[in-house]
Amino acid sequence: MTGMLKTDLCIRLGIDHPVVLAPMAGSTNATLVAAVGNAGGLGSHGCAAVPPDRLGAETAAIRAATNRPFNLNFFVHRTPVADPGREKALQARLQPFFDELDLGPVPSAAAPFPPFGTTHLEALLADPPPIVSFHFGLPGADTLAPLKAKGCLNVSSATTVAQARWLEEHGADVIVAQGAEAGGHRGTFLNDDYASAMIGTLALVPQIVDAVDMPVVAAGGIADGRGLAAALALGAQAVQMGTAFLQTDESPIDSSYRTALSDAEGERTQVTKVFSGRPARGIRNRYLEQMADVEHDLPDFPLPYGMNGALRKAATERGIADFPSFWAGQAVALARPEAAAALVERIVDEAQAVIAGLSG
Ligand SMILES: Cc1cc2nc3c(=O)[nH]c(=O)nc-3n(C[C@H](O)[C@H](O)[C@H](O)COP(=O)(O)O)c2cc1C
């Protein structure tokens, strides 16, 4: 039987275990969110690319599958500024890849999704989720206030102590301390000094715990009960795991992504801007390696994502591992295929055994 590691944050969120399924745009769905919620963790759905008029249906699908709390996540990046020179240069670089897959001309730059805005807010207010989380900062007080008035808790990620303090001052209720080990996009904001916002989870979590007066969730490189026990020892009140959940039975990722994950070791992952224009950790493949020289000359996030979208999609459909963005963190090799509920229960049991072993 799965025991209890209930923290104050678990009580506040209404969950049984201090385990959060990371929101993963494109890689979470209602089934996975509900499976984690029903197992007593917190399910999060990455909604950055969900059109606002689909949000109601996504929320309804989650509610139909669970009556437990859940979290919807959005990107609050700056609206990209056009840069015709960089866009033309990227088009020229992508054309040989497009030719290789017979995809015709590379499209001109267009954002594949907008930042969180008024239409998203209206959709959320129509059927408010218990928890709303943001990546790359927080929306303004005029957005947070109506959400809070509806009872939504606001969460965002920090990769430095300065970002955590900023989030506390600007209305976050919970902070995710995202270490450099994490898969997917770095939540870094406030400046573009991405290279230095690469603090490891072990160093970052206790510094953020000391700096802010609110619950902290540890993220990055945590994939088993040892990681959960360590995060609790560092002062975190829960862990947020992405990479570990990607390999669960309910995860909606395709088979080439699953294969890439199961074949990868931690050193095969790398933080790169080449897919989207913002730094994110993924498994090295041909696109990641061959585009490395344009890393610092890309159009604004998320324009590159729009421009290479057809390439990533076609490669995925044809099972070609050279071009998709296989986001994954450094703990990728710790994860294994299993049901999401089994993962939640296993890491809680393992963490309890670790903690008991230490005190014994
Ligand atoms: C495939 C993937 C997609 C992600 N997408 C998002 C996202 O949409 N929003 C977000 O806040 N974090 C996103 N993240 C980051 C996670 O919230 C979290 O910080 C990270 O997964 C923790 O590290 P781990 O992958 O080592 O568990 C993503 C991570 C992965 C692996």
Determine the distance separating the centroid of ligand 1 and the alpha carbon of 186, expressed in angstroms.
8
As to burial, measured by CB atoms within 10 angstroms (0-12 exposed, 13-18 middle, 19+ buried), residue 353 is middle
Report how far residue 113's alpha carbon sits from residue 111's, in angstroms, rounded to the nearest whole number: 5
Determine the distance separating the centroid of ligand 1 and the alpha carbon of 355, expressed in angstroms.
26
Write 161-166 long-range contacts (CB < 8 A, 24+). Answer: 161/204, 161/207, 161/208, 161/211, 162/190, 163/187, 163/188, 163/189, 163/190, 163/197, 164/208, 164/211, 164/212, 164/216, 165/211, 165/212, 166/137, 166/190
What is the reported pLDDT for 4? 73
Are 196 and 159 a contacting pair, CB within 8 Å? no
- Is the CB of 243 within 6 Å of ligand 1? yes
Tens digit of each residue's pLDDT (9 = 90 or more) over 242-286: 999 999 999 999 999 999 999 998 889 999 999 999 999 999 999
- Is the CB of 251 within 6 Å of ligand 1? no
- Nearest atom of ligand 1 to the alpha carbon of 244: 27
Determine the distance separating the centroid of ligand 1 and the alpha carbon of 84, expressed in angstroms.
31
Determine the distance separating the centroid of ligand 1 and the alpha carbon of 1, expressed in angstroms.
29
Which residues lie across from 280 on neighbouring strands? 185, 272
Look at the block and give the residue holding tokens 């805005």. Answer: 117
- Is the CB of 282 within 6 Å of ligand 1? no
- The closest residue, in CA terms, to atom 30 on ligand 1 is 184
What is the reported pLDDT for 88? 97
What is the reported pLDDT for 74? 98
- Nearest atom of ligand 1 to the alpha carbon of 133: 11
- Nearest atom of ligand 1 to the alpha carbon of 157: 11
- The closest residue, in CA terms, to atom 11 on ligand 1 is 135
Write 63-66 long-range contacts (CB < 8 A, 24+). Answer: 64/30, 65/30, 65/31, 65/33, 65/34, 65/38, 66/33, 66/34, 66/37, 66/38
- Is the CB of 77 within 6 Å of ligand 1? no
Determine the distance separating the centroid of ligand 1 and the alpha carbon of 237, expressed in angstroms.
18
Determine the distance separating the centroid of ligand 1 and the alpha carbon of 27, expressed in angstroms.
9
What is the reported pLDDT for 2? 55
Q: Which two tokens stand for residue 87?
A: 């866009």
User: Residues 169, 47, 27, 190: is their CA dihedral positive or negative?
Assistant: negative
- The closest residue, in CA terms, to atom 17 on ligand 1 is 22
pTM attached to this predicted model: 0.97
**Does residue 160 sit in helix, strand or coil?**
coil
Q: Which two tokens stand for residue 138?
A: 């927080």
- Is the CB of 73 within 6 Å of ligand 1? yes
Report how far residue 97's alpha carbon sits from residue 92's, in angstroms, rounded to the nearest whole number: 10
What is the reported pLDDT for 1? 46
**Does residue 203 sit in helix, strand or coil?**
helix
- Is the CB of 348 within 6 Å of ligand 1? no
Determine the distance separating the centroid of ligand 1 and the alpha carbon of 185, expressed in angstroms.
6
CA angle 315, 28, 128 (to 5 degrees): 140
What is the reported pLDDT for 266? 81
Give the C-alpha distances (Å, rounded to integers) separating 306 from 47, 219, 303: 17, 27, 5
Determine the distance separating the centroid of ligand 1 and the alpha carbon of 104, expressed in angstroms.
32
Look at the block and give the residue holding tokens 């071009």. Answer: 323
CA angle 115, 116, 118 (to 5 degrees): 120
DSSP conformation class of 320: -
Look at the block and give the residue holding tokens 């989870």. Answer: 201
Report how far residue 18's alpha carbon sits from residue 229's, in angstroms, rounded to the nearest whole number: 10
| Residue stretches of the chain with pLDDT short of 70 | 1-3
Determine the distance separating the centroid of ligand 1 and the alpha carbon of 155, expressed in angstroms.
14
What is the reported pLDDT for 356? 94
